[in-house]
Structure 1
Amino acid sequence: MSTLANPIPRTTAAAGTTRTSGKRHYGTHIFLTVMAIMWLIPLGWSLFTALRPKADTDKYGYFSLGGTFNFDNFIQAWTQGGFSKYLLNSVIITVPAVLLTLFFASMMAFAVSRVSWKFNVTLLIMFTAGNLLPPQVLAAPLFEMFKHVTLPYSFSDSGNLLNTYISVIAVDTAFQIGFCTFVLSNYMKALSSDLTEAALVDGAGIWRQYWNIILPLCRPALAALGTLEVIFIYNDFFWPLLFIQSGNRLPITTAINNLQGEFLSNYNLLAAGATITVIPTLIIYLVLQRQFVAGLTLGSSKG
């Protein structure tokens, strides 16, 4: 009889544990739902404003549902702001900057996490500490340095690094390497050391260990970081505006300035322009969503 009576309290205890965990998840879901709504409200409001003609907004007010809804503001913003040209400039800046950042960061992460030498921890601390420095502090020194770097006029119409894509690509790469190195080094440390030890026994050098063994295993982490870096660099407004004086080389984030009126601002048109700039990053995130989530959650179940 005592043996048959034992399963009952176990079932009750399991049910109690399920209820407790359910309550915890219930609170978490409420918090995440509230945060998601708070993040989506500005985007939804911009889209709502962009779909309304300015005349209807002036007539009924911004907090109203009256009037018509169409895509005229998007068409006008695209043509008036020259978004096609500025979007190409953003691609020219973003793609090389992201590829260079991931390449250099992966090499640095391999050096500080998979190779035992004297300064690996010191270098990792230096790269991590660099993320604590506000980029704006280096704006004036970098501007002066680029101004005094002489280049042939066949390469740069300014005779220096200013007003070139290279200046923006170099600065974006430099400021993003620290963050990517920190993330990739932690990811590489979780990989088994037997992989590189076996390759070393077979005669594989450092480059072969990095390129053929470790780097392919880091694809989820590289995909997650690549998605983040595309968003970070694509949305960068400060560095292009500082280093590029020629309007035909500015990225798409600065094209919204072309929609500003001299005496009056059409906020419906500005909302349409801002929404257009969001679309490329949204598409990239949706395409790489599975790899992005896998890269963030991989290794979370390890003890």
Structure 2
Amino acid sequence: MSAAEPGIGEWPTEGLVDDVRSQMFRAADAGETFALATIVAADGGPRPVGAQMLVTAASYWGFLSGGCIEADVALHAREAIADGQPRRLVYGEGSPFIDIRLPCGGRIQVELERVPPDDAAVHDLRRLTLAREPALWTSDGKHRSCSKDGVTDPAPRARVRRRYDPAQRLAVVGTDPFALAIAALGQRIGWDTVLLAPFAPEGETPLEVPVLRSALADSLASIAPDPWTAIAVATHDLERDREALVPALAGSAGYVGVLGSRRKLDERRAGLRAAGLREGEIDRLKAPIGLPIGAASPWEVALAVIAEIVADARSRTSGESA
């Protein structure tokens, strides 16, 4: 994303970054101290508790209000980088910053902390991120820790408690326009996306998406699906679908869906049952795949599928910052 802070009249592309971990690790690798701004309380506003900005001496990423407070937060963040003191910023009702208004009429409380590049919490967050483990960042503003979520209790005086889930992954089974559109849209929104297609045409794919051409069971095993992995099956062939669905539903993937007619659902379930899956495993299947928005074209179907994956993930992590 943007390598420098946006100027007046520039598009706010830095706000397209929702998860600032990559910027955090990049700053640490460059030996650069940064400031982390975290929403810890919100009454109204477009961003939830846990939303973050990362600020360096020259840049910032993420957004907290949709353009109302970001420049001011960056100003205070750089002061925190300079003097090392944490800050609590309040915008909206009861704020000392009377010249900054929130059009939504809400109230946002932001905690600012200065983070040196060699901080142990950054190292632990990177380790847990690479291991695809949920991490809990806890900070009192000056001292912080990061551990696998649920392993240790947060410090009682912590000003910031922020959970980081593993990044969303998407595995799409198929090669037709529906499969390509689902994979392309998943990749476009930043998900780690792969096509599973032992039956794929030879040569390069039309997308910059990796293709695994080994047997479907082997491909699924190689990506080791976890609760933050979605598997979308779109082969239009009951037998090929079953080759993917049996290991997918028996595994740990958070979401498994299949494209196809509702009329064939009973036949599909019977085939999965005959393959040895239990009813509870079969009940995990989203079929037909995607939210019911009347989608018809490949891109509309992709939109419905991606939206259903997001809705499903949010429902499973309700009340947590992802």
What TM bracket, shorter-length normalisation?
under 0.3
- Which structure is larger by alpha-carbon Rg, 1 or 2? 1
Higher share of residues assigned strand: 2
Higher relative contact order (CA 8 A, sep 6+): 1
TM-score between both structures, scaled by the size of structure 2:
0.20
